Structure 1
């Protein structure tokens, strides 16, 4: 039978853990602000903007998108029952809802890419993450954690081997999928390659974030002990990832193996006043270069190496743990940031549409575009959320997924 709105609300209220976790919204809000830093921060607009700008860029670049991906897994878990995953009819409804949301996100990502949004659009990749996670919605957290760990190591290695064997691989690095890609067989194949293998956020190296988030979302995130374990795990993973990369490069010969690549970068590095290794670690567009296997030892934004995956997953888990605590104790003070997180899809799409104009109009003052985007989002979302609830695009996702589930699952 088709459930009425009242029956759906009653069913959701009866499921433990469905009350919204404000800490998750806070973490997503921080990811949005980090996205602004990566797209319109002072270090992007003016490379000589100073040490404060460089520090801010180091916090946002790469980490914001990975926090988004990890929270996507958490959201999938919460949507499908949290620490008590749904079964039977409820689980079938969940899968339909997730699949419909994936379709909507995929189309939105293609639209933004087609319109030339001046950023690496993640939404189409997000859609594939959702679809690939569907068979794992009933998997235990421990198994999901092991799967994430194995994939974090194996995914980048498989990607490197496959891309090394593909002729012309690397020409699609940093990209996404647009409608224009579907106009010929060759461009369609290249578009699929971007999504799966070597685009901005390729599935083969990004699924560990989703599995890790799904595992976390299956825990009791209201438990103080769980939050503490989450924080400790995040810190340990961050240290292991960053420290392991440093040891591999500087103690176990990684830099020597990279020397031919560094020599080719040396003239450019000298012109911009950078160390060749530092410059190499700034050139990631989704995957590690296939020039030498030693690039898999890097821990740099958008390189998709095992060390980057471990480090950034740890950072995402630590941020989430702290945000869960802050969401309980500073709820009123941080309400505007949580509102940005709750309306993240709308904010992301609007940013993609206006980013070029904002940067062009205000880019002479390198801090101004970031301030306009951040403060504008905090104010608008902070007003919208308590008055109108879900954002416009969030309403579309909810309505389309729920109505479709009503029709398909009976």
Structure 2
């Protein structure tokens, strides 16, 4: 009996044997990393008076970072029981491990925050999101879905009410820069910025992790689930964007916002398409009807969550196709996706070296992006093929094991 089972197993193509990871999830994470690099290195607006959006801005702005956050929730679900969440001691151990791993990510983010770089670094917010989602890890699919939907609807309204109060404080509870170790000495502006007034407001962005947890509690290995994620994600994303566009262009929203907007350097038509960061969304309830990237409104959260779900579904389907063809089609993406913390950190550090400096002779913005992307893909592929963890991934994994009371494995 054993010999027959062994013989059957030996005939299964290597790409179809169990790997312990869903390759499509790592591939989606790699795609998110490359998308974030694109928004960092390539212009999202044309250099003209109207700030005409570029195709990079229209494609990746807001969506890449949101995909990164949703996938964090998916990963947490997969590591805490998949369809059936952990309970009791196992759940407590998982929470301790995730909390200590989050502190490692926060330490990396605070260290990067000390660099002079014109990028909005997500890592401290990312770590705080891990801590905020801990109470939800024991919930099942229906409860998570309800919480995610409720958070998408309610949190933008509460944030709209709270932000003016935080910004009216003296000094305003806002940093205006990436959080760093020095900001720990002024906790109120730091927390105000992280939760509500900064680039990645954790209060609303918690919705992404809840959506990701709900996705991760699905039976992702079943045939129809990726199809459902793809079609439902596209439908939700399209509906949310259509409603936001109609509200602004057909129902009077943009005209009302132009009356209260006091930011002459930000043509409203352009920023509504690419990035609402830098504009204080106050003075009119019409702000909540926008679906603009980085506005963290209900329609923005719904649109970007739908895009993330569709990308996850598409990557899972590509993973199925790769298994059927016995070809590792996703290796370039999943390699980068398996070590995003290390690659993102190195990317930010390299970009900081060119801050306020001209590019090297013969280099262009496009060339710089392709150099970063190609390096991430090649390094990721090498690490995956050698079955290595990324350096920072190993530190985070070791922290997780220490908190769980487990023996630390070798790198």
> If the TM-score is normalised by the length of the shorter chain, which range does it land in?
0.7 to 0.9
State the partner residue of 1:100.
Answer: 100
Change (3 A) 1:282 1:254: same
Q: Which moved more, 1:234-243 or 1:352-361?
A: 352-361
Q: Distance in 2 between matches of 1:281 and 1:88?
A: 46
**Which residue of structure 2 lines up, in the alignment, with residue 306 of structure 1?**
298
Unaligned runs of 5+ in 1: 1-16, 270-274
TM-score by length of structure 1 reads 0.85
TM-score, with length taken from structure 2: 0.85
Answer whether contact 2:291 2:300 (CA < 8 A) is retained. yes
Instruction: Give the number of aligned pairs.
Output: 379
2:352 corresponding residue in structure 1: 356
Query: Take 2:75 and 2:47, find their aligned partners in 1: how far apart are those partners?
Result: 36
Looking at structure 2, the residues matched to 287 and 309 of structure 1 have their Cα atoms a distance apart, in angstroms, of 18
CA contact (8 A) 1:362 1:368 kept: no
Give the whole-Å Cα distance in 2 for the aligned partners of 1:56 and 1:282.
Answer: 9
Residue of structure 1 equivalent to 2:89: 89
- Residues 1:142 and 1:56: Cα distance change in structure 2 (over 3 Å): same
Q: 1:151 to 1:90 in 2, by over 3 A?
A: same
Unaligned runs of 5+ in 2: 1-17
Larger CA deviation: 361-370 vs 187-196: 361-370
Counterpart Cα distance in 2 of 1:287 and 1:100: 35
1:175-190 equivalent positions in 2, closer than 5 A: 175-183=177-185, 187-190=186-189
CA gap of 1:29–1:296, structure 2 versus 1, over 3 A, is same
> 1:356–1:47: structure 2 CA closer, same or farther, 3 Å change rule?
farther
1:403: Cα distance to partner?
2.1
For residues 172-321 of structure 1, the aligned pairs below 5 Å read 172=174, 175-183=177-185, 187-261=186-260, 264=262, 268=265, 276-279=268-271, 281-285=273-277, 289-321=281-313
Contact 1:62 1:301 in 2 (8 A): yes
Q: 1:53 to 1:335 in 2, by over 3 A?
A: farther
- More helix, by proportion: 1
- Take 1:28 and 1:35, find their aligned partners in 2: how far apart are those partners? 11
Q: 1:268 to 1:100 in 2, by over 3 A?
A: closer
8 Å CA contact 1:286–1:302 kept in 2: the answer is no
Q: SS of 2:54's equivalent?
A: helix
Contact 2:175 2:189 in 1 (8 A): no
- Does the 8 Å CA contact 1:80/1:137 hold for their aligned counterparts? yes
CA change 1:61–1:294 in 2 (3 A) is same
> RMSD of aligned C-alpha atoms?
2.6
